[in-house]
């Protein structure tokens, strides 16, 4: 009994923003109340504050029935075990329009489809945020047709239907370090990219300082493309879910006592630590500096 009461008190303290809007019948047990509080909190968290009243919760062998009112409208869920109850609450509330915030919102979110009623151009970055203004995901528009946008996820944390949308970052700035395999030459580069100019491809301007016994300087102009790994592999493992493969091709103008022209390409793994901050590791080669390893840190603004 003491353990159950402590569990209930901890849950009430953790879910205090929700507890005032969630009520239960008097005959429900403390353990069931704590379980349902956690289920509803997980399904609602970060969306509109609504009133939910659990009117009945019945258990029998192999059968569970839950009835609740959301803003006075009745919903019923039947399941065979607690895991199904949690999943069904999440599914039922994922499309619950009463939880939507005002303005542009995600109306459909599954492992395969993320959609909203908007007309952003393909390639545009869009942020999904909760009622407190916290960014929950950075999305890239993959398709736009008849007023509906489809998205792929670049970074996400608790993404669900009902989150509000706003236009995401427009620029990317990063600092990059490069070295050959023998570490006999080093280069540093400052990269600037304007993100939404072309669908799926971004123009990139790079400024390099290189040293291999003497200094040389050059600039590069090219295009960069990104493929979010979640398009290929469905998982909640952050090193895949919040990661992309990024490739670029560049033309260079350099000076090391005389002017020279060159070209090159790069391919890298990119991981978003947050919706705005990321790091990359990869391979880059050019007529200026062939066969180099690359590590960079960047921010989208």
- Whether residues 30 and 130 share a domain: the answer is no
The domain in which residue 45 lies consists of 2-98
- Whether residues 274 and 248 share a domain: the answer is yes
- CB < 8 Å & 24+ apart, contacts of 228-231: 228/140, 228/152, 228/153, 228/154, 230/152, 230/153, 231/152
Strands 52-60 and 22-23: parallel
Rounded to whole angstroms, what are the CA distances from 179 to 2, 182, 251, 257, 266?
61, 8, 19, 22, 13
- For residue 69, give the CATH number of its domain: 3.30.160
| Contacting residues for 140 by C-beta, under 8 A, at least 6 apart | 123, 124, 125, 126, 151, 152, 153, 154, 226, 228
- Whether residues 147 and 195 share a domain: the answer is no
- Whether residues 295 and 175 share a domain: the answer is yes
Q: Which position has the higher pLDDT, 153 or 27? A: 153
Strands 259-272 and 148-156: unpaired
pLDDT for 299 equals: 97
- Whether residues 186 and 294 share a domain: the answer is yes
| Whole-number Å distance between alpha carbons of 170 and 193 | 9
Phi, psi of 28 (to 5 degrees): -75, 140
How do residues 69-128 score in pLDDT, each as one tens digit?
A: 988 889 999 999 999 999 888 878 876 777 777 788 898 888 888 999 898 988 899 999
Q: Output Rg (C-alpha) for the chain, integer angstroms.
A: 25
- For residue 193, give the CATH number of its domain: 2.40.160.20
- Whether residues 233 and 137 share a domain: the answer is no
- Whether residues 240 and 153 share a domain: the answer is no
Mean pLDDT of 62-75: 90
- For residue 112, give the CATH number of its domain: 2.40.10
- Whether residues 180 and 259 share a domain: the answer is yes
- pTM here? 0.74
- Whether residues 186 and 163 share a domain: the answer is no
pLDDT at 136 over 80: yes
Kindly report which listed range (9-13, 168-172, 179-183, 241-245) carries the lowest average pLDDT score: 9-13
Measured from the Cβ of residue 261, the count of other Cβ atoms closer than 10 Å reads 11
| Whole-number Å distance between alpha carbons of 185 and 179 | 6
How do residues 17-27 score in pLDDT, each as one tens digit?
A: 443 378 888 78
Number of domains into which the chain is organized: 3
pLDDT for 197 equals: 66
- Whether residues 121 and 184 share a domain: the answer is no
């Amino acid at each position: 009994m003491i353990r159950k009461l402590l569990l209930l008190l901890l849950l009430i303290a953790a879910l205090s923003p929700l507890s005032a809007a969630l009520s239960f019948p008097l005959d429900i047990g403390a353990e069931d109340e704590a379980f349902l509080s956690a289920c509803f909190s997980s399904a609602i968290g970060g969306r509109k504050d609504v009133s939910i009243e659990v009117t009945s919760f019945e258990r029998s062998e192999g059968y569970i029935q839950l009835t609740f009112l959301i803003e006075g409208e009745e919903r019923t869920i039947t399941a065979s075990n607690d895991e199904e109850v949690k999943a069904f609450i999440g599914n039922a509330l994922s499309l619950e329009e009463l939880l939507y915030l005002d303005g542009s919102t995600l109306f459909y979110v599954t492992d395969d489809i993320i959609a909203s009623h908007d007309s952003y151009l393909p390639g545009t970055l869009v942020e999904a945020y909760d009622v407190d203004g916290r960014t929950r995901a950075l999305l890239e528009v993959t398709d736009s047709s008849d007023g509906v946008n489809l998205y792929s996820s670049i970074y996400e944390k608790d993404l669900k239907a009902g989150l509000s949308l706003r236009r995401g970052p427009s620029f990317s700035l990063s600092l990059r370090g490069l070295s050959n395999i023998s570490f006999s030459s080093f280069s540093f580069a400052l990269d600037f990219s304007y993100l939404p100019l072309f669908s799926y491809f971004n123009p990139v301007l790079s400024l390099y300082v290189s040293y291999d016994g003497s200094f040389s300087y050059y600039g590069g102009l090219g295009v960069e493309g990104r493929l979010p790994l979640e398009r290929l592999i469905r998982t909640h493992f952050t090193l895949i879910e919040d990661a992309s493969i990024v490739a670029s091709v560049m033309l260079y103008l350099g000076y090391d006592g005389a002017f020279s022209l060159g070209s090159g390409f790069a391919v890298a793994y990119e991981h978003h630590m947050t919706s705005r901050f990321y790091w990359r590791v990869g391979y880059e080669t050019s007529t200026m500096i062939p066969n180099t390893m690359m590590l960079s840190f960047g921010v989208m603004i």
